[in-house]
Amino acid sequence: MIRILVVDDHAIVRSGLMMLLNGRQEMEVVGEAADGDEAIAQAGALRPDVVLMDLSMPHGKDGLTASAELKKSFPDIAVLILTMHDDEGYLFRAIQSGASGYILKSAPHEELLSAIRHVAQGQAYLYPTATKRLMSDYLDKLKNGDHAGTYESLSDREKEILAKVAQGYSNKEIAEQLVISVKTVESHKSNLMEKLELRTRPDLVKFAMKKGLLTFD
């Protein structure tokens, strides 16, 4: 029996997931939580096998922060991110937080059930379209070579901001972490993207991947 904790700030979403999962012979929802703080407390009390974690929860800790804290305190509990965000930045940050899997809320029910089974068995799970897209884009970049701009042309501060932007942090979050203004972050970001001849954040993420700037502990 796979024991599951469902975490989402929308009660109707939690109810729907509980009905789906409890309808499976090998699965049981042992608890629910509406925010990250409650999720950590419930995980400690219930010790589920899998925590099904939403990312965007406006009250308390968000899903990424809660996932990182949960994995630090309870490393044997698998975290599966279930989100609407089809975004590379969120995907990388989820992996960094210690999550075992990442799947979209738009995925078919059978895919969600398969993802839960995978992470419960200690395996990693990424939704197929994301894996295919990331690998395809990465291989295309290797085939086509570097951007005209070079990483070495960046200042130390620009390199630092490049890594944080690629990891999915917002300008405001970066400013708070580096104790600088949001305007300064925006200026550095604009300069580094111009030097590297990058146009979008996905392009920046792919460049950072190629340079080995994204590490997943």
Residue 135 lies in a domain: no
pLDDT tens digits, one per residue of 114-137: 999 999 999 888 876 655 555 555
Separation CA 133–CA 12 (nearest Å): 31
Whether residue 108 lies inside any domain: the answer is yes
**Pick from 69, 100, 127: which residue ends a domain?**
127
Q: What is the pLDDT of residues 141-164, one digit of tens each?
A: 555 554 445 677 788 888 889 888
Low-confidence ranges of the chain (pLDDT < 70): 128-150, 214-217
Would residue 205 count as lying in a domain?
yes
Whether residue 106 sits in one domain with residue 166? no
Interatomic CA distance for residues 215 and 217, integer angstroms: 6
What CA–CA distance (Å, rounded) separates 190 from 193?
A: 5
Residue 64: closest CA among 43, 41, 44, 89: 89
Domain range for 177: 146-210
The verdict on residue 168 lying in a domain is yes
Say if CB 119 and CB 100 are below 8 A apart. Answer: yes
CATH number at residue 24: 3.40.50.2300
Domain final residue pick, 127, 156, 186: 127
Residue 186 sits in a domain of what CATH number? Answer: 1.10.10.10
Predicted pLDDT at 152: 73
155 and 97 in a common domain: no
> Does 116 share its domain with 185?
no
- In a shared domain, residues 103 and 172: no
My answer on whether 8 and 108 are in the same domain is: yes
What type of residue sits at position 146? Answer: D
Same domain, 114 and 152: no
Shared domain for 120 and 151, answered yes or no, is no
Q: What is the DSSP string of 142-205?
A: HHH---SS-GGGS-HHHHHHHHHHHTT--HHHHHHHHTS-HHHHHHHHHHHHHHTT--SHHHHH
Would 164 be classed as within a structural domain? yes
Looking at the structure, tell me whether residues 36 and 119 fall in a common domain: yes
Closest CA to 30 of 10, 13, 11, 52: 52
Same domain flag for 50 and 96: yes
Residues linked to residue 186 through DSSP beta bridges, in sequence order: none
pLDDT score recorded for residue 148: 42
Q: What pLDDT was estimated at residue 217? A: 44
Of 92, 127, 162, the residue at which a domain comes to its end is 127
- Residue 139: per-residue pLDDT: 53
Tell whether 112 and 159 lie within a shared domain: no
The contacts of residue 25 (CB under 8 Å, 6+ apart) are none
Q: Do residues 15 and 122 both lie within one domain?
A: yes
Q: Can you give the pTM of this predicted structure? A: 0.63
Number of domains in the chain: 2
